[in-house]
Homo-oligomer: A and B are copies of this chain.
């Protein structure tokens, strides 16, 4: 058995361990369940219970967590608040992320008004749009900026993450400027493939493609 070094319960050797996207998605889910059951007063959960509530298997839960350390007690399970706190640290949610919303249209404003982001530490510190009728309007406690000021705003507000909710045609231009502005995390809602340097991370929300996947699934099973 190889010896291991721990820091606050986190493996040091995770530095270059490759964590898969599916593992990360599940970690988010575990955290959500832990917070919910913690609020309900439960203080211990087994991998089996966590798996059942998140729609996976007990072995998967244990494997996912073991990539980062040993957080459970054999014979007992996982201490809910402790594990939640470990997961927050692992996911980088033990800090505030400064987010700029680029595109103040239908999706953009729905996101802006949604409380679920701030609650998780994602603070919208700027909103930008190209529409002169929108520039200067007050959004909560920020003033909507003109897209021409993009670079200045990104710098002035130390933006970590940009949420792109602009039409597909407008993406390439704006994307280049966002990347040039030093932003290394992008959440994209436009139905296009984003081309970015390898040190920039993009996550896509492709609702139409999800619907198309539903269409495929329904066509398959319905046709027999």
Contacts and interface: CB of A to CB of B under 8 A. Distances in A.
Interface of A: 15, 19, 21, 24-25, 27-29, 31-32, 53-55, 90-93, 97, 106-107, 109-111, 113-114, 116-117, 120-122, 160-161, 184-187, 191, 193, 195, 199, 201, 203-222, 224
A28 B193 contact: no
Contacts of A54: 193
Q: With a 10 A CB-CB cut-off, give which of A97, A210, A213 has the most chain B CB atoms.
A: A213
Given A92-B216, A221-B199, A211 B110 contact: no
Nearest to A121: B215
B161 A218 contact: yes
Nearest to A53: B193
A212 B88 CA distance: 10
Nearest to A23: B216
A216 B204 CA distance: 15
Contacts of A195: 55
Nearest to A108: B110
Given A55-B193, A193-B53, A221-B184, A210 B203 contact: yes
Contacts of A31: 212
A205 to B, nearest CB: 6
Contacts of A185: 214-215, 217-218
Contact of A215 (B93, B106, B116, B215): B93
Contact of A212 (B93, B109, B114, B206): B93
Given A92-B218, A212-B28, A224 B15 contact: yes
